Amino acid sequence: MREKEAVIMKKLVVLTGAGMSAESGISTFRDSGGLWDKYPVEKVATPEGFNANPELVLNFYNVRRRELLATKPNAGHYGLAEMEKDFEVSIITQNIDNLHEQAGSTSVIHLHGELMKSRSTAYESLVYDIDPENCDINLGDKCEMGYQLRPHIVWFGEMVPMIPVAEAIVRKADIFVIIGTSMNVYPAAGLLNDVKRNVPVYLIDPKDVSTGRHDIHHIKTGASEGVKELRRLLARHN
Ligand code: APR
């Protein structure tokens, strides 16, 4: 008789942004023609904007939700999900879509909320799954306590409740990967500072991204091709 050998897998922590889902057809924010070129961010992604014109904000996210329902994960999402065979993978995403989950990733933290959930404007803990068949949030849609529902999104100027959880995960990373984020928005971009010294850091992005570090291995391609290359490079790490 022999005890089963415990296989200890390396912890791969992946921070993703809008570029992760670009090849699925979802717009990024800051590329030219991105969402913030078309919509004034202060009107559609701040509590002040919501108070001033809730209908405009609800509609902005209703359109995003319908777009999401018409898309699929891309090869990058699927590649990360497959890496769970070889690594303990934790994904920390700034994206509000659920494409990582759809691709099969089992550990996904959403820093900026989730498009397919609504929540009460009065009680933060009252969060509801949105039915894909009836996916709009409209003025007059209420929580069980009788208050207007809003998208379950972290807007600019709001707290990022998942950041302490994300920081704790990043501190334990054996390998850290950044995919498709311009690293402009804090506290998400600050997670790079929580990576331990000597932990290898990879960046997948077709453009240069300013990180303040010069020891990052930049895979300068889109997410699908980049994840494939990452898997080749990491084959010797597990
Ligand atoms: N594959 C990988 N990266 C890509 C691709 C692609 N196919 N296409 C574009 N990118 C890169 C861009 O080069 C850019 O560096 O994705 C990044 C997108 O950056 P942003 O549009 O700034 O998106 P993100 O960093 O996720 O924004 C952070 O800001 O507006 C808020 O809450 C919103 O979560 C969002 C946050």
Provide residues with CB under 6 Å of ligand 1.
Answer: 17-19, 22-23, 28-31, 34, 94, 112, 180-182, 184-185, 204-207, 209, 222-223
Residue 16: pLDDT band by 50, 70, 90 thresholds? very high
CA gap 123, 207 in Å, rounded = 40
**Minimum CA distance residue for ligand 1 atom 7:** 222
Is 100 one of the annotated active-site residues of the chain?
A: no
Atom index in ligand 1 nearest the CA of residue 223 equals 1
The active-site residue, picked from 77, 100, 110, 112, is 112
Fold classified for 29-70+116-153: SIR2/SIRT2 'Small Domain' (3.30.1600)
pLDDT tens per residue, range 20-48:
999 999 999 888 888 888 889 999 999 99
Q: Which CATH number fits domain 1-26+74-112+160-238: 3.40.50.300, 3.90.245.10, 3.40.50.1220, 3.40.190.10?
A: 3.40.50.1220
Percent of the chain with pLDDT over 70: 97
Q: How far does the centroid of ligand 1 lie from the alpha carbon of residue 184, in Å? A: 9
End-to-end alpha-carbon separation of the chain, Å?
27
